[in-house]
Amino acid sequence: MKYSEKPRKKRSQRDYNLGFKLAVISQVEKGDMTYKQAQKAYGIQGRSTVLVWLRKHGTLDWSKPRPKVATIQMKETPAQKIKRLERELSDEKLKNKVLNTMIDISDQQYGTSIRKKYLPNQSKESDNKE
């Protein structure tokens, strides 16, 4: 533990007032932290306490069970959507870099020419016809 951090005491359920609950819920729904991070940051003991608060006081729809595969279909806050899209963009950039490197290696080792040439070289004869 760092010296600058204050040790957090464990709290009981009756310690949490409505304002505190709503502040924690707001941070989780904005995407600033996950419910587990909120539990750790605020010293909340119960594993599902923050989830119960989210279902009871949150603005997201918790009535339907969350689909395990298609998590994008859930309502996202704008901040969550931005973070998700930034992650997806960085993943695609990395994938693109890997594929380009593979093409370069293939071209060097096997003498292939995989990249498509978008502007073919025109002969001088075709230039004169126009």
Clarify whether residues 93 and 47 are in a common domain.
no
Q: Residue 25: give the domain boundaries.
A: 1-67
- Position 18 in a domain: yes
The pTM is what? 0.40
Clarify whether residues 58 and 83 are in a common domain.
no
Closest of 83, 87, 65, 86 to residue 74, by C-alpha = 65
Clarify whether residues 100 and 44 are in a common domain.
no
pLDDT tens by residue, the chain, 130 residues = 445 555 566 656 567 888 888 898 888 888 888 888 888 888 888 888 888 888 888 887 766 665 554 544 567 888 889 999 999 999 999 999 999 999 889 888 988 888 776 666 665 655 555 5
- Position 51 in a domain: yes
Instruction: Please count the other Cβ atoms lying within 10 Å of the Cβ belonging to residue 68.
Output: 6
Clarify whether residues 29 and 55 are in a common domain.
yes
- Position 130 in a domain: no
Clarify whether residues 38 and 97 are in a common domain.
no
Distance between CA 130 and CA 127 in Å, rounded? Answer: 6
Clarify whether residues 57 and 101 are in a common domain.
no
Distance between CA 8 and CA 16 in Å, rounded? Answer: 14
- Position 24 in a domain: yes
Distance between CA 29 and CA 88 in Å, rounded? Answer: 20
